[in-house]
Chains A and B, each alone.
Chain A
Amino acid sequence: MSYKIIGKDLTPPDIEAKVTGKARYAEDFRADGMVFVKVLSSPMPHAKVTGVELSKAKQVPGFVGVLTADELKQPKDAGHAILSNTPAFVGQPILAIAAETEQAAAEAVELVDVSLEPLPFVVDPLESLKPDGPDALDGGNVANRRGVKFQKIKWSGKDFALAGDDSLPKGEAPIDWSWGDLDAKFKESDLVLEETFVSSANAHHALEPRSAAAYWENGKLHLWGSTQSSSFAVPSLAKYVGIEPKDVVMVSEFCGGGFGGKGYAYPVMAIPAFMSKKLGGRPVMMRMSRAEEFYNGSARAGFQGWVKVGFGKNGRIKAIDAFVVQDNGPTAGFWDFQNFGDASSIVFQPEAMRYRGIPVLTNTPPKGPQRGPGENQTANIMEPIMNKAARKLGIDPLDLRLANSPGDGGKNAIVGAKQSPVTSAYLKEALEQGAKAFGYAEKKKNSGKRNGSKIRAVGIGQAYHSAGAAGFDGLVRITPDGVLHIHTGVGNLGTYSYMDTARVAAEVLGYNWDHCVIERGGTKANMPWNLGQFGSNTSFTMTRTNFAAGTACKNLLLEIGAQSMGGSPDDYELKDEMVVAKSGGGSMSFADAAKRAIELGGKFSGAELDEELNPMTKASAKALAGTGLVAAAKDKLPKKGTVPGLAAAFIEIDLDVETGRVEILDYLGIPDVGTVLHPKGLAAQVRGAAVMGFGLAALERIVYDPEYGRPQIRGLYQAKPPSWLDVPSAMKSVYVEGAIDPQNPVGAKGVGEPIQGAASSAYLAAITEALDGHTFNRVPVVADMIINHVNGLSQSHKPLQVNCQ
């Protein structure tokens, strides 16, 4: 289909502020009388506060007030406390102090005499599952926000004895599903691989720490915060503070990185809100340090796992049996481990499958969703295994993948425990088209060849993420000057998907883009109820809401045309920002239609709204009522099945066996996104995800001292996200041609997450190719592991050890 705006490179309206430094992030705001907060954090991984002596702290000049855990409602079970007297991870805030200056607040925090009683702690999930293993929280060691209640589970000595030291013990698992005849399928397999693996936890390390500032006025909380979602953050913040969402005024115009860690409000965001309330509404600024961001800024869950894969001789996967123990952190965490089942089922389409998983609480920083939560860990473990299998079967790694990957639009493709259908899938086409664009066949000829100390190798990666939802709202308005205002609650994570989805409303109405304004950046922009900007969901979900609002607006314009010029709405069409009689003659500008809408009132001006709209959308539309033609609509388009975000990637590397260095020579990412909304935006996503993926695969580290439970990686120089010199200066980005998602009105779906997992798993698969089929079964693969392997040394870590890379 030919579009006027969709698929064009438009300039995001906020980009100038970003590149000139004019953009104001949460910590840039100041207000008269503002005080500054610093938190006292736990130095221990698990402890009980037995006493707090504040007399010295209160003597610091400029001391204003203190907020303690006793003043806040404490969550039950594995809830995430805002302040806690039983901190469950190093860095958990115990109390907060406000002072006239940030310096004074830090001085006062240092002078608090806090007495802590150390409690048993655990940083390795398997240790907690041992019969006498420590529990991360009093009363339990297992919980997850999806489907696993807070409970205590211990595995038997026999479970551990049967496994030995080198493979994963497999005891009781709260999540356990299967389909097909697993035993029979393994029996008929020509190759069965069984691997125990570890995927390291990985901190989000958003460049902008989660600083926040707040004040209260007339019973409303005003808050400047760092969040990747705008409307979605409001109810979650209200819940932390214990108020109604309507009483939150939030500014969230810019976000310096979230990666899933700022999808909704988070506990520390509420600290300045509570402190301000205590101080009679006085503005309070809380700037988080880099180390505090590490502790409180969320992390990808680590895995200890086992997988058994049965292959036919042509590479077709007959059966997958998988077991994942998740490092869940000390809170309810995220369901990464469950996504192992979903991701491996859709990418490999096995004929039979079993999945078991258990989320174990640990005294490490809280875990939250990070770009491809679970799916990208899955890719990183499974793709090198595919290369190992291809070698053993004597077939090309590309052919092995093509034998399994879903394509042809996703007909008969299934995903997950219930073998659910998908809306569209073109992973096979991604592999085929990507191989061609990358020059795979030519490059493969040199794969495995050594030149001096370097071995050249080619790798292929694939990944998945569930990428679409339905039922959210859209809101647009035409003002009497004829301008289209597209209200959006999508955040500003940096992907510009707020703009790329907003453009659909303009497309439906036939607008010129320079007559459109995007209203965004917080509650003052009168946002509709939108899904958070996460989960690769925005493209699919919010093109639908903007399509709904645009269509509603179109219908109102046609009605106004009929009312003003006679006839029925069917007699009119929209053309050049005019309502035009199909038969010729009469016409009315959108500007005049907007004026008429104000006169008409009712459903035309926003005075009357669809009852099914979310209260946030209704409140926003009512606030706008009478300012023009206001159209608010809920996305009621049909949706059946899972929307699979899918991607493939190709990489060429040189691995230096003397130094362990991996140099990336060439890279190509190819997502299955259906209709491309914004070519430059997509290319930036593909490249950015690749850089982050290479970090996930081989550079970013998490290390804890097991004796003291203290993390040794807190700053960016220790965590080692990739730098420009670690990635190639040019990386190729293409997309699957001819792919359309039929359940999206413009055929689009998102891909922000799988394109990272495709990159990271391609990198790891290439290492396996370079090392003659060796799989480390561990992520990240850092230089010392390669050096040890090449030199025939055992690895320094034990097979299931965690927090050591």
Chain B
Amino acid sequence: MTDMMHIFEMLQPTSLDEAVALLDKHGKDGWVIAGGKDSLDWFKDRVKKPEYLIDISGVKELYGIQDKGDHIAIGPMVTLTDLSQNKLVRDLFPVLADAAGRVASPQIRNVGTIGGNICQDTRCAYYRDGFPCYRAGGNTCYANTPTAMNREHTLFEAKRCVAVTPSDTAPALSVLDAQMVIARDGKLRTVGVDDFFVGPEIDIERMTAVERDKGDLLVQIKIPKTWAGSRQYFEKVADRQVWDFALVNVAMAAKVGADGSIEAMQIACGAVQCTPRRLKDVESLVVGEKANADLEKLVERVAARGAKPLNYNQFKAPLMSQLAKRAVRSLSA
């Protein structure tokens, strides 16, 4: 509440090796800071108080967007502004560029990074307020009680915790089959996007495969060209048009044949569960179909099937259906 950060030691590695070594050394007491848009709130609220801050902004290996032939490689320190304006990304993966361009505000996108956007913690108001919930190591979910205020919370996969992914780029990466490269202890491992985002049933205290207390560092995001040049769509609905998290967002990539029939589609929504939610029913429904009003009706019918609203978020189910419908509608143009 005092808006004063605790005292910490700031470490500024200038190479990847140095950064990984520092993370290995400090483990639980260390904290990686990139753009700082998530970290600094935690510190100023004095809810999280790591002893060592490892500032990776000086690690040049973590920057850049490169065409690697069968995939493009994105450094996690690439800012959201740069990502949204990058020609390669815009040409091949407009869904990702558009998603990056809808995050927060221009000022935040100038500082916030793609790595930070996908690694950021949830925005559950109870968790952020310092309530000792499951995610914070306690034994209650305060956001899912008979009286809890949970307009922004989950429709699906509530496993003790009902917090949602706040990321706009995560659903885009999900439909593009992105892969994340993570360094630990001098070794690299590659994790597919479906395994990168972690729900509470796997680990309730983190949201991604990056395990901070084990010294993990996200070093690269690879996007295979499988969906390059496909028809893509991103839309975000939030209370405000800028500086806001999604109430629901949708990302889609689809391959459409010459006759207008949909050959393949991947579609995902954010802000409806802890991880980006692939709409598998929609994906299987649309194959072989042409986008038209009849198909839109069917999409609307199945997109949010299985949703289990909480006290205040039932609107998310129709909103999700409408966004899926609008994504499919974009193919009829």
Contact = CB atoms under 8 A, between A and B. Distances in A.
Interface of A: 38-39, 41, 91, 102-103, 105-107, 109-110, 287, 289-292, 453, 658-661, 699, 701, 703-708, 710, 712, 717-718, 720, 722-726, 782-785, 787-788, 790-791, 793, 796-797, 804
B314 A723 contact: no
Nearest to A716: B243
A804 B312 contact: yes
A107 B322 contact: no
B149, B244, B323 — most chain A CB neighbours (10 Å) = B149
B325 interface: yes
B240 interface: yes
A707 B147 contact: yes
A788 B148 contact: no
Contact of A791 (B239, B247, B318): B318
B161 to A, nearest CB: 16
Interface stretch (B2-10, B26-34, B171-179, B217-225): B2-10
Contact of B313 (A712, A718, A725, A796): A796
B234 to A, nearest CB: 14
B284 interface: no
B70 interface: no
A712 B129 contact: yes
A710 B129 contact: yes
B319 interface: yes
A interface majority secondary structure:
mixed
A38 B243 contact: no
Contacts of A41: 1
A723 B243 contact: yes
Contacts of B196: none
Contacts of B105: 723
A289 B3 contact: yes
B239 A782 contact: yes
Contact of B126 (A705, A720, A722, A784): A705
B319 A717 contact: no
B110 interface: no
A659 B4 contact: no
B241, B313, B326 — most chain A CB neighbours (10 Å) = B241
B1, B6, B244 — most chain A CB neighbours (10 Å) = B1
Nearest to A780: B239
Contact of B4 (A102, A705, A784, A797): A102
Contacts of B44: 289
B142 interface: yes
B125 interface: yes
B46 interface: yes
B242 A110 contact: no
B6, B46, B322 — most chain A CB neighbours (10 Å) = B322
Interface string B229-261: 000000001011111100100000000000000
Contact of B147 (A289, A705, A718, A785): A705
Contacts of A290: 3
B311 interface: yes
Given A718-B125, A793-B314, 14 more contacts: A703-B151, A705-B126, A712-B126, A717-B243, A720-B239, A723-B240, A725-B240, A782-B239, A787-B318, A788-B314, A791-B315, A796-B312, A796-B315, A797-B312
A705 B148 contact: yes
Nearest to B104: A717
Interface of B: 1-4, 6-7, 44-46, 105, 125-126, 129, 142, 145, 147-149, 151, 237, 239-244, 247, 311-316, 318-319, 322-323, 325-326
B236 to A, nearest CB: 10
A89 to B, nearest CB: 13
Contacts of B312: 784, 796-797, 804
A290 B40 CA distance: 14
A796 B2 contact: no
Contacts of A701: 239
A209 to B, nearest CB: 9
A796 B314 contact: yes
A712 B125 contact: yes
Nearest to B237: A659
9 contacts: A107-B7, A109-B2, A291-B3, A658-B326, A703-B125, A726-B241, A783-B315, A784-B312, A787-B319
A287 B7 CA distance: 19
Contact of B318 (A39, A699, A793, A796): A793
B147 A706 contact: yes
Nearest to A707: B147
Given A707-B148, A796-B151, A658 B243 contact: no
A704 B322 contact: no
B1 A289 contact: yes
Contact of B322 (A102, A658, A703, A796): A658
Nearest to B46: A110
Given A705-B142, A712-B149, A796-B313, A660 B244 contact: no
B292 to A, nearest CB: 15
Contacts of B3: 287, 289-292
A260 B240 CA distance: 25
A791 to B, nearest CB: 4
Contact of A722 (B240, B247, B311, B315): B240
A43 B249 CA distance: 34
A644 to B, nearest CB: 34
Contact of B242 (A703, A718, A725, A790): A725
A717 B7 contact: no
Contacts of A106: 2, 4, 46
A620 to B, nearest CB: 38
Contacts of B318: 787, 790-791, 793
Contact of A705 (B1, B46, B149, B316): B149
Nearest to A712: B125
A787 B240 CA distance: 15
A107 B325 CA distance: 52
A697 to B, nearest CB: 12
Nearest to B151: A784
A661 B237 contact: yes
A124 to B, nearest CB: 11
A424 to B, nearest CB: 38
Contact of A103 (B7, B126, B237, B311): B7
Given A712-B149, A796-B315, A723 B239 contact: no
Contact of A289 (B2, B129, B243, B244): B2
A275 to B, nearest CB: 16
Contact of A660 (B142, B237, B314): B237
Nearest to A701: B239
Given A658-B322, A791-B318, A796-B315, A784 B247 contact: yes
A805 to B, nearest CB: 9
A339 B237 CA distance: 36
A39 B241 CA distance: 35
A787 B315 contact: yes
Contacts of B313: 784, 796
A91 to B, nearest CB: 7
A291 B41 CA distance: 12
A701 B323 CA distance: 24
Nearest to A784: B315
Contact of A788 (B149, B244, B315, B326): B315
